[in-house]
Chain A
Amino acid sequence: MRRVMNIAPARGSGMLLAAIPFFLIVVIYIIGSAERRAANPDDKLLPPVSEMVQTTQRLATEPDRRSGDYVLWTDTAASLRRLGLGLGISTLVGLGFGLTIGLLPIIGASFGTIVAVISMIPPMAMLPILFIVFGLGELSKVMLIIIGVAPTLIRDMSIEVQSLPREQMIKAQTLGASTWQVAIRVVLPQIMPRLIKSVRLMIGPAFLFLISAEAIASDVGLGYRIFLVRRYLSMDVILPYVAWITLLAFALDYLLGLFARKTFPWAYVEEPR
């Protein structure tokens, strides 16, 4: 008997199937937008696609009337810088602490629990404290990302280290490896693919924290713009910005995936793609 679970689409039709939901969303949007426009020609909630294209063009290619900046690009640059710093530092912290906590029982016993507890604190709930400690500038925005992302990475890395076969460590020691050598030559290469995978999964949360930080106090950035124009319901700015953020996050995720496959092909042997 032919089971549904065994029917796989061919490459071409697979792409078509993937495109259908996107197409449906666009069609539904266009219908909804046209309907609201028919009722009120100045409607701002669902602007037609042509208007969004126009606005995007203006934001990307014309200097802003007041500041003279090319708004879309200055916002993107500022946000990507914050995101890059936040995610980058989180990755280093996650790797360093995770490896140490996982490998050294002494460190694990002292810091394992506190990291587990800290990773459960919702960073958004501590905002007032963050403001007072780190101020309102760039530092607090990057810190919010780090506080949100790093503890989870640390935990994930330490668990990954602990799940490595004990025999490997013993073998390396009988061959005369020191703790440092085991960490660098045995453990580190094996947890790198996992690290990249976890960072990929944390792109979403990192963006969430970035946008929140920018919404609260900021003068440039993707989140700043969205929350600024929200005041007068400029969906023709918000919707393209949301699409742009999604695209940026998707591209970042894709590039990291590509990098991981190129650098650690052995970790992906069993995966089909």
Chain B
Amino acid sequence: MKRLLSFATAVAIGLGTITAASAEPKKEFNIAWTIYVGWMPWPYAAENGIVKKWADKYGITINVTQINDYVESINQYTAGKFDGVTVTNMDALTIPAAGGVDTSAIIMGDYSNGNDGVVLKKGKTLADIKGQKVNLVELSVSHYLLARGLSTVKLQEKDIKTVNTSDADIVAAAKSPDTTAVVTWNPQLLEVKADPGATEVFDSSKIPGEIEDLMVVKTETLKDNPNLAKALVGIWYETIALMKDQTEKGKAAREAMAKLSGTDLAGFEAQLKTTHMYYTPKDGAAFMTSADLPKIMDLVRSFCFEHNLLGDNVKSMDEVGIQTPTKTLGAEKNIKLRFDPSYMELAEQGKL
């Protein structure tokens, strides 16, 4: 009996921590990031006091935490462990937004301009992919890129066979003799492309602006604490100004970021070349407020709906509403993903 009692207490304590996590006092905020060239300013800012500087200015504390696994970081955000996370537009729609967590994108960081690619070992053009087994992280932006690519050569997903392959092991998988086609992103893409006999037949520079890297926060948290967004935007533009800087100071910053992401300066700069960074708040806000964004999000949500990513009970892709400054897609009453350029605009006007 005693054992049963202690078991019950243990579980009760466990449950207690689950519920406690959802009701924190809001002076302290947690932001999660994962390794990707366009997100490396975050750890750099944290290590070099830029985060603290802006947080102090607004009287808050911001903890910047690295999560090793990208999907896990979004899941943790969705489950309530983090107030903000670095994420792509597609994953922001399919994980938090489809999971009912109202999410606002406050920073348009960059779009992939070649950081994602389709590589064939047998074949020289994308059309050659027909009938091949394709290794990729299924249902990820790679899958989206592949679907977009296939449509340009009048092929369908039925014409190929996808094999779900972990992004951590895709480089090793690509070296296996029975692997003939791979879709992946950087830094793995650089490795896969480098193999003799491998040809990159399609990449994200052919669908510019469609794979966007964002900083998102919970809409509810944002409403109650606009200072969090102001601090984050402040941190971001101060740090990427350094990233762009061509003097020694900028080089040192890029070198530090390269090291943090496990590569060297040359490797980091190679990846930056295929990343279209929005270095100024003006450019970021301009893209968010352009008429292209709703068009892109429409393509993305169609893909997500066709692949059942919005949930099994979702009968139409309009059920999850997406709000952009120019147009709202889907249900007005159930807006779960918002593109909010107002904080970037504040930065542009120097009002932070």
A131 B173 Cβ-Cβ under 8 A: yes
The stretch of B26-34, B108-116, B174-182, B290-298 in contact with A is B174-182
* Proximity string of chain B (164-186) to chain A, C-beta cutoff 8 Å, 1 when within and 0 when not: 11100101110111110000000
Known contacts: A42-B99, A231-B140. The answer to whether A219 contacts B172 by CB under 8 A is no
Chain B interface residue count, Cβ-Cβ cutoff 8 angstroms: 45
Which residues 5-46 in A have Cβ within 8 Å of B in the complex? 17, 20-21, 24-25, 28, 31-32, 35-36, 39-45
B163 A135 Cβ-Cβ under 8 A: no
Known contacts: A35-B19, A58-B312, A128-B172. The answer to whether A45 contacts B162 by CB under 8 A is no
The stretch of A95-103, A210-218, A247-255 in contact with B is A210-218
B40 within 8 A of A: no
B308 A32 Cβ-Cβ under 8 A: no
B127 within 8 A of A: no
Q: Which chain A residues border B138 with CB–CB below 8 Å?
A: 228, 231
- Cβ-neighbour of A227 out of B94, B99, B164, B336 (below 8 A): B164
A227 and B72 alpha carbons, distance in the complex (Å): 11
B101 within 8 A of A: yes
A266 within 8 A of B: no
B95 A233 Cβ-Cβ under 8 A: yes
B241 within 8 A of A: no
B169 A127 Cβ-Cβ under 8 A: yes
Nearest chain B residue, comparing its CB with the CB of A35:
B19
Which residues 216-262 in A have Cβ within 8 Å of B in the complex? 216-219, 224, 227-228, 230-234
- A residues whose Cβ falls under 8 Å from a Cβ of B: 17, 20-21, 24-25, 28, 31-32, 35-36, 39-45, 55, 58, 65-66, 127-128, 131-132, 135-137, 215-219, 224, 227-228, 230-234
- B residues whose Cβ falls under 8 Å from a Cβ of A: 4, 7-8, 11-12, 15, 18-19, 22, 71, 75, 78-79, 94-95, 98-101, 135, 137-140, 161-166, 169, 171-173, 175-179, 307-309, 311-312, 336
Additional A-B contacts beyond A44-B100, A216-B165, A231-B139 (7; CB < 8 A): A24-B11, A132-B177, A217-B173, A227-B164, A232-B99, A232-B309, A234-B311
